[in-house]
Amino acid sequence: MIEVSNLSRRFGDLLAVDSVSFAVAAGTITALVGTSGSGKSTLLRLINRLIEPTSGAVRIDGRDTSTVSGEELRRGIGYAIQGHGLFPHWTVARNIATVPDLLGWDKTRIARRVNELLELFGLDPETYAKKLPRQLSGGQQQRIGVARAIAAEPKVLLMDEPFGALDPIIRLKAQEDILAIQRRLGITIVLVTHDLDEAIRLGDRIAVMDSGRLLQYGAPAEILSHPAHGFVEKLVGGADRPLRLLSLGKVAELVEPGPADGVPVAEATSLRDALSDLLWRGAESLPVASNSGALLGRITLPAIVARAGRQA
Amino acid sequence: MNFDASEVGSRRNVGFAAFPVLTREAFDKLGIFIALLTGASFLFEPFVTLRANRIVSGKGVGFFDALPHSLGYPGALLVGAVAVAAIARAPPWMRAGGAGLTLAALAYLVGEAPSHLVGPDNRLARVAPAGAFWLMGFAFALLLTDAIGRLKLGPWPRLSLLAITFVIAASFLNSGLWDGLSVLKEYAVHADSFWQEAINHVALALTSLGAALIAGLPLGVACHQSSRLRDLTLPVLNIVQTIPSIAMYGLMMAPLALLAAHVPLAGELGIRGIGTAPALIALFLYSLLPVVGNTVVGLASVPAQSVEAAKGMGMTRGQLLTKIELPLAAPVILTGVRIVLVQNIGLVTIAALIGGGGFGVFVLQGIGQAATDLVLLGAIPTIVLAFSAAVILDAVVDLLKGRA
């Protein structure tokens, strides 16, 4: 659990972060969204004190972060950045071992942890442990960057545009991977992005920032359907809004009894993808199958359309 | 029908082979220069100089007169063949091999000249390498370095080549082959002081480099962290670098003499207006700019994201510097060390002017006595030292880059 209260940071005349307060529940993902210069990256760096706050406080699991040294605090918090920031002169294994090494873990424990993480990220330890970062693809480098960030089993992981340098297809895969790993390990993640779709896809909650202020903080559906006046409305109010809303729901939520023809869609499919499927096939309705393949009923175009509209 | 580009290419090549056209590209430009230089010096310059004693001016002796026919003709054939190969765009390994072989042959032949020209009883006569030897040596050394450059050898092969060169030179020296040459006759007279000055020379160059590293590395790190300090330091060091070395030694003399006169301890430590102290201080000052400048450039070239990640994972400033920044900056810093070492090995020669010692002592004595051979006794080892230092440190830089 991270509690941020009245946090401010001033750079000369500029108030980069202006008295921001919010709380992140343990085991959730919070996405900080905003344009460049909105203060979202500064806010992230105030949490691990890469930047010291001018005023206000951050508590992690009830403990004020200003009570420990900056280095000690940061060794306990994962940190992953855009373009991975791997150390080019160190092997993959040594890169991953950075924080455990700083914490003085013994060698066998570090080696075991490195192997465990490489396997978790789908990289064969035999092949990859001894490679240098430049010998890896962009996607692999990014995965090592995240593996390094969570090497010392932190409860909190801060990510600053972690997928920013990836091309769209690899980016989608990387987002799915981080979601799966977060669900599995139960880490609390605060993630900075300028990409609203990424925030909706990953965030349990979204915090919209502009000019150093936190304008709205809530679940993605709430941000989309009830945006605050002004900047947030402009940010989410584009032509994509109904589709973005649909991307939050699953087919399982709108299954109704009844027959339908065609290849069934899976119940875990997002409503957005199901709509796309219906339109492409020119069908009014499609059968829905459970993960095990059993037929559950059908999903209809009118039901999805009704869901996409403005919610009362 | 299969019809691809490679087929077109091969057909055109066949056409060229069938009707060879001598275009300009068929010749190697550097090869032409080397062949012309070799030919001209071979024909118009003496291979060795023969003098009645060490000071009188001598007369030049051509290649075929300086050597017995049994050596002269095969030697001339080899030189000619390699020069032609240099023009004809032979593959680099062949050019390197030919150039290396020719250099070794020239070194051997010049050692055979004295016994051919001077009787064993004549102890006063001097035989020294002359124009044709030096110019051909230069030409084939050029061919060798060019060919080695084209071979793109890794650091270990380059170091091996240097070692092989030393082994060959050492075996020539040990065998007594060159003992008849005037430079080695000078060496025989100055043998004791030669090695003493060699130690002085290397010690001066290395001590000043060490001092520059001890002072320059922290200064460079500080300049990296503070732009104000950088803006102050680098221009000052730049100005120091522009002071001519003789002027620098001169400037050192008065303050150090004053210091020695007024602080007894300084005098006891050997700090005087002349001698080792001013030489060391001058070399140290010259060394600072490359060390500090390259440290600053090297640290600035460390990827910003790596630094950000290191801080974000809880490294202290010291850990960031020693684990990330300095190792990544090391190749650039070592390039600075290479510059300093090669520069200092040359500058030490001038330190002899103020009694600093080193090979410059022989150069100065040689100039004073109008004895060219003595000048060479100081100059040749200086060049060998500087060249070896450059090759070794270049290899070290490459090895570090390969790792990073």
> Does B156 have pLDDT greater than 60?
yes
Please indicate whether, in this complex, the C-beta atoms of A85 and B316 are within 8 angstroms of each other.
Answer: no
Task: Show Cβ contacts of residue A165 under 8 Å, excluding neighbours closer than 6 positions.
Answer: A82, A83, A84, A138, A142
Return the closest-CA partner of residue A90 out of B303, B163, B328, B285.
Answer: B328
Check residue B93 and give its pLDDT. Answer: 87
Structural domain range at position A291? 243-311
CA–CA distances in Å: residue B55 to residues A26, A109, A243, B186:
93, 77, 99, 12
Q: Are residues A89 and A228 in the same domain?
A: yes
CATH number assigned to the domain comprising residue A288: 3.90.1280.20
Q: Are residues A218 and A265 in the same domain?
A: no
Please indicate whether, in this complex, the C-beta atoms of A83 and B305 are within 8 angstroms of each other.
Answer: yes
With a CB-CB cutoff of 8 Å, which residues 325-354 of chain B face chain A?
A: 327-328
CA–CA distances in Å: residue A167 to residues A81, A143, A273:
16, 14, 21
With a CB-CB cutoff of 8 Å, which residues 56-85 of chain B face chain A?
A: none
First-residue to last-residue Cα distance in chain B: 50
- Number of structural domains (chain A) is 2
> Which chain B residues are closer than 8 Å to A87 by Cβ?
306, 309-310, 324, 328
Q: Of A203, A238, A273, which marks where a domain is finished?
A: A238
> Which chain A residues are closer than 8 Å to B303 by Cβ?
85, 88
Mutate to test the interface with A, among B306, B307, B313 (most CBs of A within 10 A): B313
Question: Which domains does chain B carry?
Answer: 21-179 (no CATH), 190-403 (1.10.3720.10)
Q: Are residues A178 and A111 in the same domain?
A: yes
Q: Which tens digit of pLDDT belongs to each residue from B21-38?
A: 455 566 778 888 888 898
CB-defined contacts A:B, below 8 A: 63
Alpha helices (runs of H) in B226-275, residue ranges in sequence order: 227-242, 245-262, 264-268
Q: Are residues A226 and A265 in the same domain?
A: no
Please indicate whether, in this complex, the C-beta atoms of A99 and B313 are within 8 angstroms of each other.
Answer: yes
Check residue B155 and give its pLDDT. Answer: 87
Q: Identify the DSSP state of A55.
A: E
Q: Are residues A283 and A159 in the same domain?
A: no
Question: Residue B135, exposed/middle/buried by CB under 10 A (0-12, 13-18, 19+)?
Answer: middle
Check residue B397 and give its pLDDT. Answer: 87
Q: Are residues A234 and A250 in the same domain?
A: no
Separation in Å, CA of A173 to nearest CA in chain B: 23
Report the chain B residue with the minimal C-alpha distance to residue A45. B312
Please indicate whether, in this complex, the C-beta atoms of A79 and B309 are within 8 angstroms of each other.
Answer: yes
Average pLDDT over residues B277-285: 85
Using CB atoms, pick whichever of B306, B314, B328 lies closest to residue A99.
B314
Check residue B3 and give its pLDDT. Answer: 42
Average pLDDT over residues B359-381: 87
Q: Are residues A254 and A153 in the same domain?
A: no
- The angle subtended at Cα B89 by Cα B88 and Cα B90, nearest 5°, is 95
Q: Of A238, A253, A284, which marks where a domain is finished?
A: A238
Report the chain A residue with the minimal C-alpha distance to residue B328. A89
Q: Is B313 on the interface with A (CB under 8 A)?
A: yes
Please indicate whether, in this complex, the C-beta atoms of B404 and A89 are within 8 angstroms of each other.
Answer: yes
- B250: its two tokens: 């001169």
> Which chain A residues are closer than 8 Å to B328 by Cβ?
87-89
CA–CA distances in Å: residue B63 to residues A186, B9, B45, B141:
87, 48, 9, 19
B6: pLDDT confidence band, cut at 50, 70 and 90?
A: very low
Hey, what's the torsion of the CAs at A142, A144, A149, A152, to 10 degrees? 170
Return the closest-CA partner of residue A102 out of A120, A87, A115.
Answer: A87
Q: Are residues A190 and A168 in the same domain?
A: yes
Q: Computed over its alpha carbons, how large is the radius of gyration of chain B?
A: 27
Q: Is B403 on the interface with A (CB under 8 A)?
A: yes
Return the closest-CA partner of residue A158 out of A29, A276, A279, A33.
Answer: A29
Please indicate whether, in this complex, the C-beta atoms of A102 and B306 are within 8 angstroms of each other.
Answer: no
Per-residue pLDDT of chain A (312 residues; tens, 9 = 90+): 899 999 999 998 899 999 999 999 999 999 999 888 899 999 999 999 999 999 999 999 999 999 999 999 999 999 999 888 999 999 999 999 999 999 999 999 999 999 999 999 889 999 999 999 999 988 899 999 999 999 999 999 999 998 887 888 888 888 988 999 999 899 999 999 988 889 988 999 999 999 999 999 999 988 888 888 888 888 887 778 888 888 888 888 888 898 888 888 888 888 988 998 889 988 888 899 888 888 888 999 888 888 887 664
- The angle subtended at Cα B242 by Cα B237 and Cα B246, nearest 5°, is 115
Can you tell me which residue has the tokens 């090669």? B342
Check residue B25 and give its pLDDT. Answer: 60
> Does B17 have pLDDT greater than 50?
no
CA–CA distances in Å: residue A301 to residues A245, A252, B55:
15, 14, 110
Q: Which tens digit of pLDDT belongs to each residue from B107-149?
A: 888 888 888 788 777 777 888 888 889 999 999 899 888 888 8
Q: Are residues A220 and A270 in the same domain?
A: no
What one-character-per-residue DSSP string does B302-364 give?
S-HHHHHHHHHTT--HHHIIIIIIHHHHHHHHHHHHHHHHHHHHHHHHHHGGGT--STHHHHH
CA–CA distances in Å: residue B191 to residues B36, B183, B276, B388:
39, 11, 22, 22
Q: Which tens digit of pLDDT belongs to each residue from B162-208?
A: 999 999 988 888 887 787 788 888 888 888 888 999 999 999 999 99
Residues A139 and A170 sit within 8 Å (Cβ to Cβ): yes
Residue A224: CB atoms within 10 Å: 23
Check residue B70 and give its pLDDT. Answer: 86
* ipTM of the shown complex: 0.84
Which positions in chain A have a beta carbon within 8 angstroms of at least one beta carbon in chain B?
48, 50, 70-76, 79, 81-89, 98-99, 102, 145, 148-149, 158
Q: Identify the DSSP state of A154.
A: -
Chain-centre distance of CA A246, in angstroms? 19
Average pLDDT over residues B342-366: 87
Check residue B403 and give its pLDDT. Answer: 59
Q: Of A223, A238, A253, which marks where a domain is finished?
A: A238
Report the chain B residue with the minimal C-alpha distance to residue A150. B313
Name A59's bridge partners: A3, A64
Q: Which tens digit of pLDDT belongs to each residue from B71-98?
A: 888 888 888 888 888 888 778 888 888 8
Q: Is B152 on the interface with A (CB under 8 A)?
A: no
Q: Are residues A226 and A256 in the same domain?
A: no
Report the chain A residue with the minimal C-alpha distance to residue B308. A85
- The angle subtended at Cα B306 by Cα B304 and Cα B307, nearest 5°, is 65
Chain-centre distance of CA B381, in angstroms? 10
Check residue B1 and give its pLDDT. Answer: 41
pTM flag (> 0.80): no
Please indicate whether, in this complex, the C-beta atoms of B311 and A74 are within 8 angstroms of each other.
Answer: yes
Please indicate whether, in this complex, the C-beta atoms of B403 and A89 are within 8 angstroms of each other.
Answer: yes
Q: Are residues A210 and A275 in the same domain?
A: no
What b-and-e string marks burial along B103-119, b requiring 16 or more CB atoms within 10 Å of the CB? bebbbbbbbbbbebbbe
> Which chain A residues are closer than 8 Å to B324 by Cβ?
87
Mutate to test the interface with B, among A41, A65, A73, A89 (most CBs of B within 10 A): A89
Separation in Å, CA of A83 to nearest CA in chain B: 7
- A83: its two tokens: 């373009």
Q: Are residues A131 and A218 in the same domain?
A: yes
Q: Identify the DSSP state of A155.
A: S
Check residue B10 and give its pLDDT. Answer: 41
Check residue A237 and give its pLDDT. Answer: 77
Please indicate whether, in this complex, the C-beta atoms of B313 and A72 are within 8 angstroms of each other.
Answer: no
- A156: its two tokens: 């909190």
Dist. CA B314–CA B321, nearest whole Å: 13
Separation in Å, CA of B404 to nearest CA in chain A: 4
Check residue B43 and give its pLDDT. Answer: 86
- B32: its two tokens: 């032409």
